[in-house]
Amino acid sequence: MKRFHEYKNPSLAVDLVVFGYHNNTLSVLLLNRKEAPFRDCWTLPGGFLQMEETFLYTCSRILQTKLGMDGVFLEQLYSFDDPDRDPRGRVIAVGYYALINPAKFQVVAGSMANDVKWFNVRKLPVLGFDHKQIFQQALQRLKSKILYYPVGFELLDDLFTITELHELYECILHTTIDRRNFRRKILDAEYVINTGMKREGLKNRHPELYKFNKQLKKNNFQINISTE
């Protein structure tokens, strides 16, 4: 019996939407390609699946070797299968998105890229391949996910203030949320634990520092905000 992988099969790749949050801005990490196709174009980081790898492993490998990142939140998005999505041939891409705290990593362009840069998600350049579509799906997923699942803290420092969490939500959802109602929701849901410490060195009143509540029953909370 002929083994399956001796037939011709499409290639398999993962494409990564790496979100970072810094200075009140949600950003995405893009590579400037050194080689055709889409030479000198901005694209999502990605790479091919090796025969023995899982997708998650491929993602980690890419994050590690191309971007020097480790131990980050990763979630599968969707599989993109347009036969013409890659001019080199049939490549099926499985999209993943990652949430990282840019303060924890220093990104460097690997050998495949001219440049690696953070781009504000509202000011993206033209992307190669079908990466615009993958990005949009990732952003949409993130927007819905933070409303019913505590992932926001993945983008922040270990200790954060309610105001910082509030600003993160406003930034991701691209809307305004009442400060006081937000605080109440987050505290009622036991999303966070008060550490008793305060953030020092600010111009005004020093806010309390919280950490994420790891014991949180994850589907116990829901923030009702119209995703517009």
Residues lying near its own copies in the complex (CB under 8 A)? 1, 3-12, 48-49, 51-55, 76, 78-79, 81-83, 88-92, 94, 219, 227
Which one of 45, 161, 186, 192 is in contact with DNA (CB under 7 A)? 161
162 binds, among its own copies, DNA, none (CB under 5 to 8 A by kind): DNA
Q: Does 143 bind DNA (CB under 7 A)?
A: no
88 binds, among DNA, its own copies, none (CB under 5 to 8 A by kind): its own copies
Rounded to whole angstroms, the Cα distance separating 100 from 114 reads 22
C-beta of 121: minimal distance to DNA in Å?
24
Site for DNA in 184-223 (CB under 7 A): 184-185, 187, 198, 201-208, 222
Rounded to whole angstroms, the Cα distance separating 224 from 226 reads 7
Rounded to whole angstroms, the Cα distance separating 64 from 18 reads 13
C-beta of 38: minimal distance to its own copies in Å?
15
82 binds, among its own copies, DNA, none (CB under 5 to 8 A by kind): its own copies
Whichever of 114 and 222 has its CB closer to DNA, that residue is 222
Cβ burial, residue 25 (10 Å; 0-12/13-18/19+): middle
* Cis amide bond preceding 37, omega within 30: yes
C-beta of 218: minimal distance to its own copies in Å?
13
C-beta of 184: minimal distance to DNA in Å?
7
Total number of residues binding DNA (CB under 7 A)? 23
- Token couple for 210: 């919280």
18 touches 63 (CB < 8 A): yes
Rounded to whole angstroms, the Cα distance separating 153 from 189 reads 14
Count of CB atoms situated within 10 Å of the CB of 228: 7
Nearest to 9 by CA among 89, 107, 68: 89
- What are the residues binding DNA (CB under 7 A)? 161-163, 178-181, 183-185, 187, 198, 201-208, 222, 224-225
